[in-house]
Homo-oligomer: A and B are copies of this chain.
Amino acid sequence: MPEEAPTKRERTRQAILDAAYNLIVRQGYAATSMRQVAEGAGLALGGIYNHFASKEEVFRAIIEDRHPFYQIVPILNSVEGETVEEFVRNAAHTMVAELGHHPDFLNLMLTEIVEFKGEHVPLLFERMFPMIMPLAQRITSLDGDMRQIPPPVLMRAFLGMFFSFYITEILIGRAMPKDMQFNALDYFVDIFLHGILVGRN
């Protein structure tokens, strides 16, 4: 029923969000001015205020309906694998690749934490929790003996491990010796699956 013709009003609103989004992920919130947003949206400065009450309102709208989280996490649900090992390996590669397709994600996330003290994180998490938990259920139902780990802890460890992999890959990738980069993702997967120790556990 919807999806037909986005009204003019709606199109301008989206143009503003587009412009603001691109500026904010590049320079942060405080360093982005309403004049830049206006120019990016092809609008006069005052025109923005017909759509948003304030600068902060623009940012809130971005967090609420443009956060890349909402695109990245669902991707994990489409990951395949018969065994736990296979699944984890695929999921790790998929997630890191997907993060690579959304370089904005990191910037937006950090901007929110730094400039808004992470006040939107609970909202983000509330939305993401229902997306993430089915994944945990799926993993525990796959072939392969898994240690008894509470599913939330499992998911947190998975996301944390490979998210940190991605961040460090970006941040220090070029500053580091080559041997720290090569195939590092597969090492991470192995550690996550089997630990750093050899032998029974």
Q: Which A residues lie at the B interface, using CB under 8 A?
A: 28, 30-31, 84-85, 88, 107, 110-111, 113-115, 118, 121-122, 125-126, 144-147, 149-150, 152-154, 156-157, 159-161, 163-165, 167-168, 171-172, 174-177, 179-180, 184, 187-188, 190-201
Q: Select one of B180, B192, B197 contacting A196, CB under 8 A.
A: B192
Q: Select one of B113, B115, B144, B152 contacting A177, CB under 8 A.
A: B152
In the assembled complex, the Cα of A180 lies from the Cα of B191 at a distance in Å of 21
A197 touches B193 (CB 8 A): yes
A187 touches B149 (CB 8 A): yes
A194 touches B153 (CB 8 A): no
A114-B115, A145-B198 given; name 17 further pairs at CB < 8 Å.
Answer: A84-B196, A88-B196, A121-B171, A121-B172, A122-B174, A125-B172, A126-B175, A147-B190, A147-B191, A147-B197, A153-B187, A157-B188, A160-B160, A160-B167, A190-B195, A194-B201, A199-B200
User: B residues within 8 A CB of A196?
Assistant: 84, 88, 146-147, 149, 154, 157, 192-193
A159 to chain B, nearest CB (A): 8
- 15 contacts across the A-B interface (CB closer than 8 A): A28-B114, A85-B197, A122-B175, A126-B175, A147-B191, A150-B179, A152-B176, A153-B184, A154-B196, A160-B164, A161-B164, A163-B164, A192-B195, A192-B196, A195-B201
In the assembled complex, the Cα of A201 lies from the Cα of B115 at a distance in Å of 44
- Chain B, Cβ-Cβ closest to A174: B122
